[in-house]
């Protein structure tokens, strides 16, 4: 399940990179609204990565029988990092929206 989660995140990142490249394609007429949306998506994906990468990294290392931190330390890691993404997304969406 952990590897599926990482794989799904990589697929989402690849899709967003392809969208970003399509928006910034010099052969197509450029619209500033598309570029702004692409930058918003990049920031949201980057914040998702920052919040979920430490948790996934230590979970996968423990799943492969190479635990880098103890269970107690992993609980301490989960408490601040896990909810940060859920708390940050509403603010990021509000900051990036004019309304």
Contact by Cβ (8 Å): 40, 91: no
Domains of the chain, residue spans: 1-97
As a dihedral over the C-alpha atoms of residue 7, residue 13, residue 14, residue 19, rounded to 10 degrees, the angle is 150
Contact by Cβ (8 Å): 31, 74: no
pTM of this prediction? 0.61
Cβ neighbourhood burial of 79 (10 Å; 0-12, 13-18, 19+): exposed
Ordered per-residue pLDDT tens for the chain, 99 residues: 777 877 888 898 888 888 878 777 767 666 666 777 777 777 777 877 877 777 778 888 888 888 888 877 877 777 877 777 778 777 777 776 666
């Amino acid at each position: 399940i952990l590897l599926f989660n990482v794989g799904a995140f990589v697929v989402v990142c690849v899709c967003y990179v392809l969208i970003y490249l399509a928006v910034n394609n010099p052969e197509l007429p450029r619209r500033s609204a598309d570029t702004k949306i692409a930058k918003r998506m990049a920031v949201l994906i980057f914040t998702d990565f920052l919040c979920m990468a430490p948790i996934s990294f230590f979970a996968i290392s423990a799943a492969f029988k190479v635990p880098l931190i103890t269970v107690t330390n992993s609980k301490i890691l989960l408490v601040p990092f896990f909810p940060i993404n859920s708390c940050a997304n509403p603010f990021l969406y509000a900051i990036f929206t004019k309304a």
